């Protein structure tokens, strides 16, 4: 029963991820997306676009990574991809958050933390695939909202290219081609600064 209580306590704690709001707006621009919505959407990207994964990619592992990758933000907060100052302390804040969060579950927490670390370090084909969607999904939301957050934060095309290096480095050629098309169209339409 002690293990079950710890698991329920952890599940209750991670409900707080619904209150971590990101810079990305929902596609209808009605409000900011929260981390839980983002993680769900990444899972759907992985399922629908599975054919673009490297051969032999373990899709269950990809889905697990997508679900745990932002849980540390419950304590560390979301750091905007283009926030140079916030990104300086991000790794330290997230490590401390991981220590606190995953210790709640003992050995099971260590397994979840290992998935988070693997995702963060991008050390496997599953992590590379999940990271592609962690980058592509916000780009799509920015495109669909006519660049509202990119323009508000004065983001340039070079910033988007640099910030999405994992997608460009590890993504299937069709995904990277699509990404480049969306970025170029965003500049042409005035959604993204040149």
Q: Is 21 helix (H, G, I), strand (E, B) or coil?
A: strand
Is 75 in contact with 100 (CB distance < 8 Å)?
yes
Number of residues that this document lists for the chain: 194
In the chain, which ranges are E strands?
A: 21-25, 32-34
CA atoms within 13 A on the CB side of 8: 5
Q: What pTM was estimated for this model as a whole?
A: 0.94
Position 36 in a domain: yes
| Residue 18 binned pLDDT confidence (cut-offs 50, 70, 90) | very high
Position 125 in a domain: yes
- Name the CA radius of gyration of the chain, rounded: 17
Position 194 in a domain: no
- The 10s digit of each residue's pLDDT in 35-66 is 999 999 999 999 999 999 999 999 999 999 99
CATH number at residue 134: 1.10.3210.10
Q: What is the rounded distance in angstroms from the CA atom of residue 153 to the CA atom of residue 155? A: 6
Tally the domains of the chain. 1
Is residue 76 scored above 90 in pLDDT?
Answer: yes
Structural domain of 67: 2-189
Is 105 in contact with 10 (CB distance < 8 Å)?
yes
């Amino acid at each position: 029963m002690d293990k079950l209580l710890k698991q329920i306590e952890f599940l209750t704690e991670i409900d707080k991820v619904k209150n971590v709001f990101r810079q990305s707006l929902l596609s209808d621009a009605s409000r900011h997306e929260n981390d839980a919505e983002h993680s769900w959407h990444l899972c759907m990207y992985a399922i629908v676009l599975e054919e673009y994964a490297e051969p032999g990619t373990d899709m269950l592992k990809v889905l697990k990574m997508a679900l745990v990758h932002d849980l540390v933000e419950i304590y560390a907060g979301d750091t905007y991809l283009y926030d140079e100052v916030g990104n300086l302390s991000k790794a330290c804040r997230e490590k401390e958050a991981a220590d606190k969060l995953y210790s709640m579950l003992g050995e099971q927490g260590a397994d979840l933390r290992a998935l988070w670390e693997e995702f963060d370090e991008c050390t496997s084909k599953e992590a590379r695939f999940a990271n592609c969607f962690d980058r592509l999904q916000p780009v799509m939301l920015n495109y669909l909202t006519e660049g509202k957050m990119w323009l508000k934060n004065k983001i340039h095309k070079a910033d988007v290219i640099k910030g999405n290096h994992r997608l460009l480095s590890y993504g299937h050629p069709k995904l990277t081609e699509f990404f480049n098309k969306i970025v170029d169209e965003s500049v042409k339409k005035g959604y993204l600064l040149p």
